[in-house]
Structure 1
């Protein structure tokens, strides 16, 4: 019988001192509880998403020193933990000192073994090959098969030898690689236990897949598998990731027999009979993480941790009477308390009494601080100043005046609200102001640069519009237990209210038709094999029902929205040009995005400002369809 401690800790990136202190406390507690083994996550000492901090040798020396402290603490317990391993006399492909993402196994105050990460992810937010030297590269250098280097670690506990298969995160997600570390461990066995230490960010639905994958591995090898992941918040600049923990234990039949609560720092214990493969323990049910509950948990946890990390405890939110700002207000009020939230309504002549009343009702329901600061006078002043001040051609002496179109005036209003009022109010209030943009708007740049796309964090910018509505209902029902977000806001047509053409009282709203465009935009950027207009038009030409099935939108919707192919194609090209054109420039300058989906804007969705492009097959197919029409 092994008593195993699962050290699901909150890892603070860039603070090896704090992380090590926490580990030493957990080690002391586990030793006091007479645990045989304690397991910590991948990169538990330095953190994982550190950018080019990995290029600082002084930082590496600190991580190494703190690693020695953890090893020294293994006098009465076996410790498995993640840290950077530095080979000071060798260099990596970049010419800098060689670094490995490594798993350390310590016992009796000494380092027993070290295992190097075999598979380095180089997709989404991951950039391991930029900094670390993998076991695959090492095998090539040594002229050996990489599988021969993937060996179990032998430890002695209570006069019995145990064989541990220690791997790191991606080594367990090996379906698309030419190397299978799990199979190699089994071949080089025997094995008593597989340990996967991870630093794996939350993605909606990821744990459901992880349970299927790791369960299969335990079942195929006939060996129990322990997965230990960290909690906390890490970022790579433009994208902020939550880490949910959700450490899990699988028996030799692949059944889940224990797990740690997600988004909670825990030191949990498990008594595991290796002889039975854990089959004597009753299987448990784990939460489905592809739910609105998981989504709320990740966003609330991420926003709270982000505020803590930047030392902000007061927030200003521009509330328009619309759904996005209402959800932001309810979310932040639940995190910081309503007394620390200042809601600001900034109407112009284009704002209806309906939305002004709804903004006030929302503020009253939440109990937040509230103020009304109209922008009509200042926006008009800016427009008049631009249109009445002459512009001189210094070569000819000729003067002209600029014209402020209705579209330009819309943007003047949006910038006046954010760059002038909200920024100034936030400074006076001693806080920051939010960016309330959703993912649909961010996709096509339906926002004003330095206006409503400004703020300290884009908390909702990885949520499609329909998810924002889901979150609104969840906040009312499950978080507050009452209607804090008025139902009228949920039912109201979404609108920027920056002109009379966007009058909500007349049912006029955003040009984005969210029940369709949410899913079209998702296909553009979130599908693993990202769709282009060629794919969309091909599916449409086969049958609109085929396209609806591919996108996942409501059946019959496309035929109701578009009278014929010409209207469909015009709409498709309009949004594709925006998505790959001006919206890219706006996204590059947008606030950091809190990531929860399978692909978020920022470092997770790397873009170049190259402009729109339509493939040759698309142009050919378009010509054929329109000619036939």
Structure 2
């Protein structure tokens, strides 16, 4: 039996010193537990999402220094497999900068393995993802490019590493993350490895961000690979958070071992640093261990785990120990309050209600009840006096131009935004400074999609922890907090039954059943089709489905809902164009200036949803379908 330690570690991006120290400690602990080998994730030394830090030669030299410390650490007898950047200072990337590889290192007895009959004593990532949050091709040179440069088939560079163990030699296929997700690539690294060389193990070291439901797909994918190749597959991923500026990603780990039949025989818990040592009968393909069931990762419990873990890690990473939350009495701010009061001592979460003349006693009372149940400090700071002052100042302002006086006025719609900005830019910002913390952005994904938030107002804050959740997910998560997290009705029932409303004008009077213009049971799914479909939907697609009678099936909302909401095609088209113009228009400018968003879904706003301020566009086919529908 080969004893293998799975080094599911928390990686701190940009801190090779901290990461290496943690790895050396884990290597020592694994050796004391009798492990023959320890496997760490991809880019475990430097971290993965580092932006253009990769362009700093001093940082690259630092990574080389710490890689050598890990190599030296194997002198104690343990074999270490890990990921880091590898540099060839004598060659250049396509951009003219020094050659860098996303590399897989294997060290034993103080030396690197795998350099015989190979250009380097490490293995190189073959498939460099350049979609979603990934930007590998910007910085790294791939096995494919190296093969072209050397004038040889890529298969010649896909060779296993021969490892010597007390149980005999092992032929280990070493691949990195995307190299295992090759279904849509012409080059299939794992299959080429197995076809040309006998393998005892296939090891995939990864730095794979969490996406809701992704681990289910990952298990299907790697299980199929293990069966097809006929060898055990070991997948090792990291935990922690990393970011690319506008988007904060959690890493769930979920490191897993599959036997040659594709069954899961060991796995690490999600969002938890751990180092299990498993016995693997490599000669028998791992068949001596019983199969184990892997938890489903597509439910609201996983959403809760990811949001909580990511928020805790983000606060820790920026050193924030206190937060201020604008508590309106609505579902979004109530969930934010319940979240932060659960991960911080309640005394360090300041809740503030900021009513204007349009806020009902209903929402004010609900906010106070929630604050009391959470045990957080709570205050009420009315804003109407400040709003009236702003209104007077603007109306009294005189603009001199060519000898004439021009007056300015604020429309009722403008006054809605004045209220939102007064709450955030004035009160919340000042309270956060006085309280010694930051203030939160409570926006949800539906609002961000169409810009239903005020720039420099409620679309401000240090982190938008809920901004990758559609409104129906916000309600589901709030209910989960009551039932499973607090096991009590912390969020009052009245907050769930209240119409969602900004309460910024008489048109938003909740006691009269008035609220947001977004009809969430329908628009959540319409907006999701714009954003999250792999083949993203446009008005042309929506009209095509509408004509075919398949709209609800395609976007996933309740059957027959669009017919109940829109009497005819004219009303449907008016609604569709309204939201499309906002999504591709003003909302883009707002998203560019929004706080960082915590990622949960398959497509999150920020770097994952790259967009330009180009304005709205309707295709020729759409205009033809519109003309057909409207006669």
TM-score range, shorter chain: over 0.9
- Residue aligned with 2:606, SS: coil
- Measured in 2, the distance between the counterparts of 1:467 and 1:148 equals 49
Counterpart among 604, 619, 630 of residue 626 in structure 1: 630
- Provide the residue aligned with 2:211 in structure 1: 203
- Alignment match of 1:591 (pick from 592, 595, 599): 595
Q: What is the deviation of 1:282? A: 0.6
The answer for the alignment partner of 2:466 in structure 1 is: 460
1:539-582 superposed Cα distances (whole Å, 9 cap, x missing partner): 00111xx0100000001111100000000000000000000000
User: What displacement does 1:188 show?
Assistant: 2.1
Deviations 1:597-628 (Å, cap 9, x if unpaired)?
Answer: 0000000000100000000000011001100x
Residue 270 of structure 2 is aligned with which of 226, 250, 262? 262
Offset at 1:147? 1.5
1:95 to 2:96 alignment:
yes
Cα distance in structure 1, aligned partners of 2:91 and 2:167: 38
CA distance in 2, matches of 1:289, 1:337: 28
Q: Deviations over 1:324-347 (max 9, x none)?
A: 000000000000021110000000
CA distance in 2, matches of 1:35, 1:505: 65
Tell me how far apart the structure 2 counterparts of residues 338 and 403 of structure 1 sit (CA, whole Å): 43
1:403 maps onto 2:409 in alignment: yes
For 1:513 and 1:279, locate their aligned partners in 2 and report how far apart those are by CA, in whole Å. Answer: 53
The answer (yes or no) to whether the contact 2:33–2:277 under 8 Å persists in 1 is no
Alignment of 1:437-456 (within 5 A): 437-456=443-462
For residues 492 and 296 of structure 2, the distance between their equivalents in structure 1, rounded to whole angstroms, comes to 29
Establish whether residue 602 from structure 1 lines up as the match of residue 606 from structure 2: yes
In 2, Cα distance between equivalents of 1:156 and 1:581: 60
Aligned positions of 1:216-615 closer than 5 A: 216-393=224-401, 396-543=402-549, 546-615=550-619
Equivalence for 1:29: 29
TM-score (norm. length: structure 2): 0.98
| SS state at 1:267 partner | coil
CA RMSD in angstroms, aligned pairs only = 0.6
- The answer as to whether partners of 1:375 and 1:417 remain within 8 angstroms in 2 is yes
8 Å contact 1:120–1:128 — kept in the other structure? yes
Distance between the aligned counterparts of 2:104 and 2:157, measured in 1?
A: 14
- Asked whether the equivalents of residues 148 and 184 of structure 1 are also in contact (C-alpha less than 8 Å), the reply is no
Cα distance between partner residues in 2 of 1:296 and 1:383: 42
Give 1:160 shift: 0.9
Indicate conservation of the 8 Å contact 1:344/1:371, yes or no.
yes
Shift of 1:159: 5.6
**1:218-261 CA distances to partner (integer Å, 9 max, x unpaired)?**
01111000000000000000000000100000000000000001
> TM-score, length-normalised on structure 1?
0.99
Unaligned regions of 5+ residues in structure 2, if any?
115-121
| Mapped contact 1:152–1:188 kept (Cα < 8 A) | no
Q: CA contact under 8 A between 1:315 and 1:342: conserved in structure 2?
A: yes
Deviation at 1:400, TM superposition (A): 1.2
- Count of matched residue pairs: 623
Partner of 1:108: 109
Q: Distance in 2 between matches of 1:584 and 1:109?
A: 53
Work out whether residues 164 and 194 of structure 1, in 8 Å CA contact, stay in contact via their aligned partners in 2. yes
Q: Is the 8 A contact 2:2 2:167 kept in 1?
A: no
Q: 5+ unaligned residues in a row in structure 1: which ranges? A: none
**Which whole-Å deviations, capped at 9, do the CAs of 1:394-422 have from their partners, x for residues lacking one?**
xx111111111000000000000000000
Contact 1:186 1:221 in 2 (8 A): yes
The runs of at least 4 aligned residues of structure 1 exceeding 3 Å deviation read none
Q: Take 1:39 and 1:408, find their aligned partners in 2: how far apart are those partners? A: 58
Question: What secondary structure is seen at the aligned counterpart in 1 of 2:81?
Answer: strand
Q: How many angstroms does 1:189 deviate by?
A: 1.7
Match of 2:117 in 1: none
